[in-house]
Structure 1
Amino acid sequence: MTVSDTQAAPMTLPDGWESVDPPEGVRFLALAPESGTFRANITVTAQTNGDLGFRDWQVGSEMAFAQMLPGYTPIDLERLTIAGQEAGRRLAMYDGPGGSALTMEQWFVAIDGVGHTLTATVVTSDYATWAAQIDATAATWSPA
């Protein structure tokens, strides 16, 4: 399913996922079909980075994740180019509600002082089921 709204550029969602009204501070939110105690999700955010350069923004993000997400464990971090800008992708795990193991895959880019982030979070045991479709979603994401 391809979705678009005034807050996020069009992108293709994994099969069966639905876009819903996002909470404040989130530009876009999509949820996987209900299954178990945690509902997998994809979010898009955009926040002003002030005077932070790309590297400092991401070092700060890693520090914040380590403090805010119990059991945060980085798995992979790679450099990319998104919309012609320096960008990156991270894969990490952390402890979710009720002790569930969660996997977070995130793409991020700074454009004109605004940090744009697409984050997919799934129960770790379901990651293999969703990984290819989440990557396809990321490939259609265009930060606006």
Structure 2
Amino acid sequence: MQDQPTTPPPTLPDGWEWVDPPEGVRLLALAPAGTGTFRANITVTAQTNGDLGFRDWQVGSEMALVEMLPGYTPIDLERLTIAGQEAGRRLAMYDGPGGAALTMEQWFVDIDGVGHTLTATVPTGDYATWAPQIDRTATTWSPA
């Protein structure tokens, strides 16, 4: 059985809904269905990082994103503090299904060797519309 979070889920953007997540994902929310080939989503994951420290975990994550996401282009990367721990936020673009331009905003923190990540992915043309609400989702996220 999949490990379920014990903290309340973050606040979703207007009209988005929580759905049953696939294996390996703790929470999954979907935007209202649009007309494009990609449905905006928010995922929350938590995975053991083994012996990796925060920096090595994120260097490895960035390398994996470059390998997995066609056209991956980092836009911004900043250090933050989440739940009293060293954390970060990245903003990037990549090519999604059917060549759709996607924007990914991601918050990440390591707590006791577990990497917690909240990722919002939206069609790039919709990012300006959703960004303030996605930011609200991130500020209400409790990664524990």
TM-score range, shorter chain: over 0.9
CA positional deviation for 1:8: 5.7
Provide the residue aligned with 1:102 in structure 2: 102
Q: How far does residue 9 in structure 1 lie from its aligned partner after superposition?
A: 2.6
The answer to whether 1:133 aligns with 2:133 is: yes
Aligned residue identity for 2:40: A
- In the TM superposition, what whole-angstrom CA distance separates every residue of 1:82-105 from its partner, at most 9, and x where no partner exists? 000000000000000000000000
Residue 88 of structure 2: aligned partner: 88
Question: What is the rounded CA distance, in whole Å, between the counterparts of 1:33 and 1:130 in structure 2?
Answer: 12
RMSD over aligned Cα, in angstroms?
A: 0.8
String of CA shifts for 1:19-78, please: whole Å, max 9, x gaps: 000000000000000002110000000000000000000000000000010000000000
Matching residue of 2:5: 7
Cα distance between partner residues in 2 of 1:8 and 1:46: 12
CA distance in 1, matches of 2:108, 2:7: 15
Retained in 2: the 8 A contact 1:91–1:106? yes
The 3-state SS of whatever aligns with 1:12 is: coil
Matches within 5 A, 1:26-45: 26-35=25-34, 36-45=36-45
Instruction: Indicate conservation of the 8 Å contact 1:42/1:120, yes or no.
Output: yes
Q: CA separation in 1, counterparts of 2:136 and 2:56?
A: 28
CA distance in 1, matches of 2:33, 2:6: 23
Counting matched residue pairs gives 139
The reply on whether 1:24 has 2:20 as its aligned counterpart is no
Determine the C-alpha separation between the residues in 2 that align with 1:61 and 1:26: 16
Partners of 1:14 and 1:112 in 2: how far apart? 29
Taking only the aligned residue pairs, the percentage that are identical comes to: 86
Residue ranges of structure 2 left out of the alignment (5+ in a row):
none
**Structure 1: stretches of 5+ with no match in the other structure:** 1-5
Matches within 5 A, 1:116-131: 116-131=116-131
For residues 8 and 78 of structure 1, do their structure 2 counterparts lie closer, same or farther at Cα, with a shift above 3 Å needed? farther
